[in-house]
Amino acid sequence: MLKMLFAISLAGVAFTIGLLAPDADLKIGFLHHRSALTHEPWLALLTGFLALRINKGSFIMPLLGAALCVALTIHLAADLFPSHWAGFALIHMPMYGRVPAAGSVLWLVMSTGVSATTALYLGWRCLPKQD
């Protein structure tokens, strides 16, 4: 029971990190808001890879990875609905600048899809296995 409560608490922390991680560009001086480096699928893929490598037969690491990826998916999906596609709503590519609206939408859709797929896979890995 204590292990389950601990896992749920950690999942809440992972979820919170996943919600906030894409906006880390606001705190990092050399990145612009909606940077391609923070609004991308690589964090979800890295999380999934590490969760499965560190797993050691427990459901806790895939659960934490799934919680983080679900939150990333929610954040990135919400970014698909700005009031208008201009200025800070556009994805910023380092050394290129703001990507046009169509490219920004495509980038966010791709990132959301990868994050959602990773979350589903990690969630599936949390399920008890039938012998």
- Per-residue pLDDT tens for 16-63? 999 999 999 889 888 899 999 999 888 899 988 988 888 666 788 899
Task: Report the alpha-carbon distance of residue 35 to residue 95 in Å, rounded.
Answer: 11
Give the closest residue to 117 by CA, choosing from 66, 53, 49: 66
Question: DSSP 3-state assignment of 131?
Answer: coil
Mean pLDDT lowest among 10-19, 25-34, 86-95, 111-120:
25-34
Q: How far apart are CA 124 and CA 49, in angstroms?
A: 14
Question: If we measure between CA atoms, which residue out of 91, 83, 95, 84 comes closest to residue 108?
Answer: 91
Structure tokens at 91: 């994805």
Task: Give the torsion sign (CA, 87, 92, 98, 99).
Answer: negative
pLDDT given for residue 60 in this prediction: 85
Residue in 35, 116, 36, 28 with CA at minimum distance from that of residue 72: 116
Q: Is 106 in contact with 71 (CB distance < 8 Å)?
A: no
User: Rounded CA gap, 30 and 47, in Å?
Assistant: 24
Max distance between CA atoms of the chain, in angstroms, equals 54
Q: Is the pLDDT of residue 131 over 80?
A: no
In this prediction, residue 34 carries a pLDDT of 93
Q: Confirm if 112 and 118 have CB atoms less than 8 A apart.
A: no
